[in-house]
Amino acid sequence: MVLKGYPRLSETFIAQEIRNLEIAGVDITLFSLRHPTDKDTHPIHAEIRARVVYLPEYLYREPLRLMQSWRRARRCPGYASACRLFWRDLKRDRTPNRLRRFGQALVLAAELPAHIASLYAHFLHTPASVTQYAAVMLGIPWACSAHAKDIYTTPDWEISAKLAHCQWLTTCTQENHIHLRTLCSDLEKVKLNYHGIDLRRFDCPSPTFSNRDGHQQSDPVAILSVGRAVEKKGYSGLLDALAQLDPDLAWKFVHIGGGPLLSGLKKQATSLGISDRIEWLGAQPQHTVLEHYRAADLFVLNCGIDQHGDRDGLPNVMVEAQSQGLPVIGTHISGIPELVEHGHNGLLVNPGQQHALTESILTLITKPQMRQQYGEAGREKVCRLFDMNASFSGLRELITELLTQSTGRQKVAVKDPLPNA
């Protein structure tokens, strides 16, 4: 399995998938394109037994490993074909990242254990490129899972080429599914498979609902958001919306997540005069996030599309929040309406409509009975449609199919010793 980075706090759905595949008896080796940057991990990471190999994040830092890999990889049966594929891509994408993808693929092909005869990538952009080049070199099948940013920031020509070559691709929202099928000649290759969550880890047999309505300053309504401080999450607009609430209304806002825009958001909150109502907790492990889900009154995520076209698919944190009986405020974008039904289990606004966002927050602050109604409906929907066990069965069948198609690969007899992984 080829990942962009491992482990990552923001990718619990991947960790959950890895562990479930291990339980199902699949022997997994993880190849990560980057080293971890998060200080903490989730409990599920400690349960994962897969060996992790870190490919050279920057090629110039490991020249000997790269050279040894090239000497081995050029003896692979599909090396010439992989070079032609890379050259075709490079002519359309003349970037250093494209060169790094091929260099990492050389290392992946050279260091892949001989008993591994198939590759599976998470994300359609960089990880899928590295996986495709290595699979072509080795002459083995590969598959991919696509999510959000990787779909909408990858050129259509590149997506079509990858879809033509991979065995199958699975994606996590109906909108993604429809979009990707327009780029694929074989429609059956593109599969819809919601991530789902492990309801054992997010067990909530009887969620509690408060009667807070914003009238008691000593007991403010707790608003929670979990997400990285990046443009597509819309936190700047959310702060503006919160600042427009009546100053006499009792509320507090808790944000969980890291991200490059965090310091700017804190300054914005100060300039808006609401910093004393906000707790910035940074990135947190899953058990801490769960505690805050259970303590909050409502959940808000103001997703949008950033200047590069990046957007969310269906944020897992919204599924997690609803599993705990939290009413959700979200936006009409990507797969969010597939989870949040406006007026039934939450409220939706159009991206960028600050006044509508303020009104939605005000509504749920002042109407505790509506919060309970939406929270109960959301939890019921998650239990019915987003249970990990149901969604995992489809993926397990696909992985089984990929393993069945793997007929082994030719060993490359060379004298070069493998470098320490």
Task: Answer whether residue 412 shows pLDDT above 70.
Answer: no
Q: Does residue 75 belong to any structural domain of this protein?
A: yes
Out of 46-50, 159-163, 362-366, 396-400, which region has the weakest mean confidence (pLDDT)?
396-400
- Which residues, other chains included, contact 84 with Cβ-Cβ below 8 Å and sequence gap of 6+? none
The answer to whether residues 111 and 235 belong to one domain is no
Q: Does residue 215 belong to any structural domain of this protein?
A: no
What contacts 24+ positions apart, CB below 8 Å, involve 274-279?
Answer: 274/239, 274/242, 274/243, 277/220, 277/242, 277/251, 277/252, 277/253, 278/252, 278/253, 278/254, 279/252, 279/253, 279/254, 279/255
The answer to whether residues 160 and 249 belong to one domain is no
Q: Would you state the pLDDT for residue 421?
A: 33
Task: Answer whether residue 286 shows pLDDT above 90.
Answer: no
The answer to whether residues 286 and 245 belong to one domain is yes
At 181-215, the pLDDT tens digits run: 999 999 999 999 888 788 887 876 678 899 999 99
- What distance in Å separates the CA atoms of residue 328 and residue 310, rounded to the nearest whole number? 22
Give the DSSP letter string of 238-256: HHHHHHTS-TTS-EEEEEE
> Total domain count for the chain?
2
The answer to whether residues 235 and 328 belong to one domain is yes
Q: What is this structure's pTM?
A: 0.77
The answer to whether residues 55 and 88 belong to one domain is yes
The answer to whether residues 253 and 317 belong to one domain is yes
Q: Which residues pair with 188 in a beta bridge?
A: none
When pLDDT is cut at 50, 70 and 90, the band that residue 408 belongs to is low
Q: Does residue 260 belong to any structural domain of this protein?
A: yes
Helix (H) or strand (E) run with residue 190 in it:
strand 190-192
Q: Tell me if 231 sits within 8 A of 262, measured CB to CB.
A: no
The answer to whether residues 154 and 126 belong to one domain is yes
Q: Would you state the pLDDT for residue 38?
A: 86
Q: Which residues pair with 347 in a beta bridge?
A: 329
Q: Would you state the pLDDT for residue 50?
A: 96
- Which residues, other chains included, contact 170 with Cβ-Cβ below 8 Å and sequence gap of 6+? 143, 144, 145, 146, 190, 191, 192, 193, 394, 395, 398
Q: Does residue 40 belong to any structural domain of this protein?
A: yes
Domain hosting 242: range is 221-384
pLDDT above 90 coverage of the chain, percent: 77
SS3 202: coil
Q: Does residue 229 belong to any structural domain of this protein?
A: yes
- Which residues, other chains included, contact 65 with Cβ-Cβ below 8 Å and sequence gap of 6+? 56, 107, 419
Q: Does residue 98 belong to any structural domain of this protein?
A: yes
The answer to whether residues 315 and 356 belong to one domain is yes
At 362-388, the pLDDT tens digits run: 999 999 999 999 999 999 999 888 888
Q: Would you state the pLDDT for residue 407?
A: 59
The answer to whether residues 44 and 163 belong to one domain is yes
Q: Tell me if 325 sits within 8 A of 378, measured CB to CB.
A: yes
Q: Tell me if 128 sits within 8 A of 145, measured CB to CB.
A: no
Q: Does residue 238 belong to any structural domain of this protein?
A: yes
| Range list of H helices, 48-115 | 63-73, 79-92, 96-111
- What distance in Å separates the CA atoms of residue 262 and residue 235, rounded to the nearest whole number? 9
Q: Tell me if 138 sits within 8 A of 116, measured CB to CB.
A: no
The answer to whether residues 30 and 177 belong to one domain is yes
Q: What is the CATH number of the domain that holds 26?
A: 3.40.50.2000
Q: Does residue 95 belong to any structural domain of this protein?
A: yes
At 74-125, the pLDDT tens digits run: 999 999 999 999 999 999 999 999 999 999 999 999 999 998 999 999 999 9
The answer to whether residues 13 and 150 belong to one domain is yes
At 303-326, the pLDDT tens digits run: 999 998 888 888 889 999 999 999
The answer to whether residues 113 and 229 belong to one domain is no
